[in-house]
Structure 1
């Protein structure tokens, strides 16, 4: 990740009362931007910025949109590097384990912007597994896995899935590049 990007200032803003109530927090936003970067179709920046920020970008401090654009560009640069590099921003629990759920929800929010275009991947018997580490973090309102992972195995499955996310994102990105 580009060290010049002031993620602390962005995180502080997104958690503050100054940001719109429906703005994403940093982990969600990072997952969302990775999903936008991996999208099979181009999504206009004004559309995804409005979704991420919960308001039209012109109504917010310009540095916020600029910082998010820098983060998006850094993600794209990482995906196109040789070798590709993905560094998701996950929350960390006090106990030390990572919490990837918000990041994954952000990624899936990006998928939801153009769901029909993602069907070639998500319904593929050959390549659908590429998105499984992200989908493993999707839970229903009762906290049950949408993939049917038993409750007694969920913590371990989520930990393993979180470790697999960087490679999964690279594979999803490559999947769409090969098709285009």
Structure 2
């Protein structure tokens, strides 16, 4: 797998390249359990805004499934190209989150009939991303105020929560649309929470400084 530090991986993805990646993720060459582009975007976002940024080697294989599935590559060149697009999306997200102010936008689908954003797949990806470091994310889950940032994402991804909301008369499509509209502010705020937690730990007496990459 190429390194996310390689210079060629720093170029911004074009719309054509994003379409190419999205098409491959849903092609017959990709395992049936592969993430789609929206789920991948949510998954990568969780890696970048959480308590610690995990190395790509620790999560990259999950793009294709949770049981070691691999695409049917036509060639080594195709493999390097598609993997490079994924890592460039990762780096593009980093740039969006580091911008002042952050320019983060979730990559979601559109219900054209109702003109509403569909964010469920994105939320699936985000929560899968948090599951790689459940212990690390737990302080936010235990914080009565901070958990309000992530609970709508969790509820959107959780089938039981969705079924209960629907039984109570909630319009899930409108809920997803409203959540998609809120994420450009929610995601940077989640990141700020973890940055503040890291700074607080580093400033405690008797503890060494912790570097965030």
Shorter-chain TM-score: which interval?
0.7 to 0.9
Superposition deviation, residue 154 in structure 1: 3.4
| Aligned-residue CA RMSD (Å) | 2.3
Change (3 A) 1:133 1:164: farther
Structure 1 residue ranges without an equivalent (≥5): none
- Aligned partners of 1:37 and 1:76 also within 8 Å: yes
**1:25 equivalent in alignment to 2:42:** no
Is 1:73 the counterpart of 2:86? The answer is: no
CA change 1:40–1:57 in 2 (3 A) is: farther
Q: Is the 8 A contact 2:105 2:183 kept in 1?
A: no
For 1:4 and 1:142, the matched residues in 2 are separated by 36
How far did 1:56 drift? 7.4
**Corresponding position of 1:90:** 108
- After superposition, what is the alpha-carbon deviation per residue over 1:12-50, rounded to whole angstroms, capped at 9, x for unaligned? 100101112221010000000001111212312112110
* Mapping of residues 5-16 of structure 1, within 5 Å: 6-16=17-27
Q: Which residue of 2 aligns with 1:41?
A: 52
Give the number of aligned pairs: 177
1:113 aligns with 2:124: no
TM-score by length of 1: 0.88
Where 1:63 maps in the other structure, the secondary structure is helix
Relative to structure 1, is the Cα distance of residues 129 and 142 closer, same or farther in structure 2, using a 3 angstrom cutoff? Answer: closer
Aligned match of 2:205: none
Structure 2 residue aligned with 1:133: 152
1:175 aligned partner: 193
**Offset, 1:91:** 0.9
Please give the alpha-carbon distance, in whole angstroms, between the structure 2 residues aligned to 1:158 and 1:92.
11
CA-CA distance at 1:81 after TM superposition: 0.8
The structure with more radius of gyration: 2
